Amino acid sequence: ARHRVRRVSDERFLDFQADVATYFHAVGNESNTSRRLTGSAIKYVEVYAVNDNSRFTAFGGASGVDRLATHSTAVFNTVTTMYKAAPTDGASMPYTIQIVLAGMGTFVTADPYEASLVYQGTETTVSSCLEQFNSWAQTQLAAGEITDNDNRVLLSGRNFDGNTVGYAGLGSMCLRSRSGSINMCGSSASAVPGCAVTIAHEMGHNFGMRHDGSPCPSSGLIMEAVGNGNTKGQFSSCSVSDVSTWFSSVYNKQGTCLENMPTQVFGDPVCRNGFVEAGEDCDCGLSDCTSIDPCCDGSKCKFVVNDPPYECSDYLAPCCQSCMIVKAAANFACRAAAGSCDLAEVCPGGTSACPMDEFVYPGQSCSVSQGGATYNGLCSAGQCQSMSYTCGVDVTNLFDGTWDMSDTCQAYNDDCGTVVCHDGSKPSDPTECGQYFATHGVQMPVPEGTPCWFPSDPAFQRLGMCHLGKCTKPHSLAIVPRCGNGGIDFGEECDCGSSGDSCCECSTCMLKATSKCSSLEDCCDSSTCQLKASGTACRAALGTCDILEACSGSSGICPKDVGKQWGTACTARHAPSEAVSVVSVIVVFVVFVVVVSLIVAVVVVMVVVMVVVVVLLLLLVGVVVTAGGVNPSYGTCCP
């Protein structure tokens, strides 16, 4: 949602110290008992902050980098306190939400997506900025170029369009493609509170929080739509209700990314703050780690002296057992698959860290269940994306009314624009489609990865996936190749995925010595792993304008779907009601032509008759004149 400029009462933040160290002390102040309830009482939001080039310039460029880092850290120190503050009306958050600044980056030259931004005069449009920032962050995260995180926050010195100071996706927390926000932030010390409120507000949208209104105050709290200069650093009871709904209905579908306790934070190291930082081996948060992490000497934040030397901490590292690194031969799963679109990771040996999270190949069929209903979709970035789920669950939860999906309404989403759903209160009419699902005037976009119809795909089969507002082929979205993800990546001959392939060596993704093709290919005989004979049908014709595709005999892949030549005579295939409609149109057209022709004929006849009448009248006048004896005059008078 977009928001107008807001200010925050200075008195609310006078006790904050704008320095890096304060941030870590603030994190460590909570009781160690409560901090250890990972997976239940505490949800950790690991944030990666990015200062754009305009903000870098506002601090004086390279000479102001330290001041920039201190200022941005102070902002997140404030955001942390806002999320820990008690909401109004005696409400309480369903979990303790701990904001952790996991890393920070700065664009010291031009923003990498500058050429793709859209401007209105000198102002940057928030929609283009958020879209490009999210796309950049997703690519960098997949490539391991930025610190692993749950949420990306852009701190910008740009002027956004329409007096907007912040913009974020609603309910997008934990989605690797959309979990983030863009925020306008000043460079002075007095700008820290206002910037923090903006970030807390936009992150609230990521958590599914909507703007305050009835029955909550429409202004004065973090989730107000328009600031009045006296914003308090508190959430309303309505915000608590929204975030509770998000955790109960959406969180489990989007990867439950907030369960792991961070092992590192940005800034100067502080021993015994519970985070492993530069120069530390471990950090349990206490001086005596015996009962928490026996591998760690809490007084020094170093491994306990041992022979052989300890290599890691069981408490912090998933690939550590008995203070030693797990060997690859153990094939130990350090991260279980989060669902049918995710892959389990195993310890690689040589490191106590679990490998980067990887997913099933994009475009694989999947399903997701919610409230007793099952929604079919396609895998995208580890999540099962389904337009039916978006309407039936997300839109229904976030907006008024009951929504689902129909074939007619589904077609409107193939352009990957804004969400169109079917009105669930009118099940007998599939054409009752609703489109205006908006927050503060900005319509909800079709989610990344949503199945869509790509023009080269067979009719009525949605095999494409929405990406940056366009329907895209799944293989172009495969960012990280991996044997076992279900898709044939570069250098592979096959891939067993989760379904298996009798013709494939699953561990190497290469065909078996006697195999000529993959059993998952349409032109491969799965019983013999040999190519089907040339001319064997592999894709039936879907209508009179389509043709059957047949195997070539030299490849396991069914040829590209093609149709008959343009202009070939055909019989339209429509539902009876549509056929009657076409006939009616033809009949009306014929009647129209006949009527017009008759009118023209009548007009022509009338013109001819009028000409004849005029001629006859002229002849009659001539006869009368002659009969009257009038003689021509020659200039003389007759007696």
Q: What are the tens digits of pLDDT across the range 231-249?
A: 788 999 999 999 998 998 7
Structure tokens at 197: 């409120």
Angle between helices 65-84 and 192-206 (to 10 degrees): 60
Helix ranges restricted to H, 450-500: none
pLDDT of residue 378 exceeding 80, the answer is yes
Q: Please, what is the Cα angle at 304 between 300 and 306, to 5 degrees?
A: 150
Report if residue 338 sits inside a domain.
no
Question: Which residue range forms the structural domain that includes residue 467?
Answer: 365-477
Which percentage of the chain shows pLDDT scores above 90?
A: 50
Report if residue 583 sits inside a domain.
no
Contacts of 542 (CB under 8 A, 6+ apart): 458, 459, 460
Report if residue 388 sits inside a domain.
yes
Report if residue 131 sits inside a domain.
yes
Active-site pick, 202, 280, 492, 549: 202
Which residue numbers belong to the known binding site? 201, 205, 211
Report if residue 144 sits inside a domain.
yes
Residue 423: helix, strand or coil by DSSP? strand
pTM above 0.85, yes or no: no
pLDDT at 614: 67
Residue whose tokens read 């990972």 = 38
Among the candidates 477, 512, 529, a domain finishes at 477
* Confidence grade of residue 33 (pLDDT, cut at 50, 70, 90): very low
Beta strand 42-51 with 96-106 is: parallel
Among the candidates 254, 271, 303, a domain finishes at 254
pLDDT of residue 635 exceeding 70, the answer is no
Number of structural domains found in the chain: 2
The verdict on 250 and 369 lying in the same domain is no
pLDDT at 161: 92
Which percentage of the chain shows pLDDT scores above 70?
A: 85
Report if residue 467 sits inside a domain.
yes
pLDDT at 583: 47
Which residue numbers belong to the known binding site for Zn(2+)? 201, 205, 211
The verdict on 369 and 240 lying in the same domain is no
pLDDT of residue 492 exceeding 90, the answer is no
DSSP conformational letter for 390: I
CATH code for position 197: 3.40.390.10
Residue whose tokens read 């279900």 = 486
Report if residue 427 sits inside a domain.
yes
Among the candidates 229, 254, 279, a domain finishes at 254
| Per-residue buried b or exposed e for 290-316, using 16+ beta carbons within 10 Å of the residue's own CB | eebbebbbbeebbbbeeeeebbbbbbb
Q: Provide Rg for the chain, Cα atoms.
A: 35
Query: What is the mean predicted confidence (pLDDT) over 436-441?
Result: 73
Dump pLDDT digits (tens) for 36-86.
323 457 899 999 999 999 999 999 999 999 999 999 999 999 999 999 999
Q: Is 521 among the catalytic positions?
A: no
Report if residue 5 sits inside a domain.
no
The verdict on 199 and 71 lying in the same domain is yes
Contacts of 545 (CB under 8 A, 6+ apart): 563, 564, 568, 570
* Confidence grade of residue 2 (pLDDT, cut at 50, 70, 90): very low
The verdict on 376 and 228 lying in the same domain is no
The verdict on 189 and 70 lying in the same domain is yes
